[in-house]
Amino acid sequence: MRRDNVTWVHEFILMGLSSDRQTQTGLFVLFGAAYLLTLLGNGLILLLIVLDARLHLPMYFFLCNLSLVDICYTSSGVPQMLAHFLLEEKTISFARCGAQHFFSLALGGTEFLLLAAMAYDRYVAVCDPLRYMVVMSPRLCVTLAVISWLVGLVNSAVETAVTMRLPTCGHNVLNHVACETLALVHLACVDITLNRAIIVASSVVVLLVPCCLVSLSYILIVAAILQIHSTQGRRKAFGTCASHLTVVSMSYGMALFTHMQPRTMASAEQDKVLVLFYAVVTPMLNPLIYSLRNKDVKAALSRVLVRSSEVKH
């Protein structure tokens, strides 16, 4: 293929959500508040788990990783989006665009894999409670977390490499709020067969496989709960999974709904909504779900507050 007219751009222009100045100001306030809540909520979860020895358990080790991912994930794109609400020129350099693309993909994939590891943790807690601390040893927990982070990073590195190498023949206007794969691929002026294959493979690795593992874990969990004769015992067993099941349903549900739609039905606006959901909504809601529905977290918060008040007096 002749590549005489193939050129790469030095920066991209992000069209964002709206061109109306008043609307942009309102969006800045809305998403700015959500971003602050995300930092405060996930930061508080991290602080409680570090400070309270009673939370030094496998479940909270994974929750600590999840909160760290949420903080980094939302920080990879939201601050720039907030700045663009206030700026006339909504540009991003090629290097920053590539970095944003890499980190958002890596952290998003890592979150799906961590949720799968947490599902296994809940399976052991319900189906083999007497051996829980033996099975979920510190070594296994660290191994599962490291695998989640490594697979997320490697998967993102591959997809970012094949996406950012695409020439756009001078086209640099992205109809999106961030440097996302589909928006970048749509600008390409060369064959994108390899990119499509990589996107499908990436979806299998970080979405389909973890989703199948989560589903299998909960099938076994439900089967175990149904064998418990007492109503109170069933409620207690289900209570250990309620927070995680809520987060999983929200995260995987939105992702599967989007990926199962025919590409002819998908639109740029849908892609924007999906990105905003994972960058703003999910990281903000995760700490609320785990704190409001978890007695251990609420008890740890009370103990920390009591200790801090005692120190002041």
- For 27-77, the pLDDT digits (tens) are 899 999 999 999 999 999 999 888 888 889 999 999 999 999 999 999 999
Q: So what's the pLDDT on residue 2?
A: 41
Q: Averaged over 84-99, what is the pLDDT?
A: 89
SS3 3: coil
pLDDT in tens, 104-118: 999 999 999 999 999
Q: According to the model, what pLDDT value does residue 6 have?
A: 54
Instruction: State what percent of residues in the chain have pLDDT above 70.
Output: 91
Tokens describing residue 26: 């309102």
The overall average pLDDT reported for the chain is 86
The per-residue pLDDT for range 258-292, each reduced to its tens digit, is 665 555 445 666 777 778 888 888 899 888 888 76
Digit-coded pLDDT (tens) for 139-177: 999 999 999 999 999 999 999 999 998 888 878 888 888
Q: Which residues contact 226 (CB under 8 A, 6 or more apart)?
A: 234
Task: Kindly report the number of other CB atoms within 10 A of residue 99's CB atom.
Answer: 16
Q: How many helices and strands in the chain, by DSSP H and E?
A: 13, 3
| Residues belonging to the chain | 313
pLDDT one-digit tens code per residue, 8-30 = 678 898 888 877 888 889 989 99
Quote the pLDDT of residue 109.
Answer: 93
Across the range 183-205, mean pLDDT stands at 89
Question: Domain spans of the chain?
Answer: 16-312
Instruction: Output the pLDDT for position 105.
Output: 93
Residue 121 has pLDDT above 80, yes or no: yes
Is residue 5's pLDDT more than 70?
Answer: no
More confident residue, 183 or 292: 183
| pLDDT (0 to 100) of residue 100 | 93
Whether 1 has a pLDDT exceeding 90, the answer reads no
Domain 16-312 coded CATH 1.10.10.60: no
Q: What pLDDT shows up at residue 4? A: 46
Q: CB neighbours of 210 closer than 8 A, spacing ≥ 6?
A: 112, 113, 115, 116
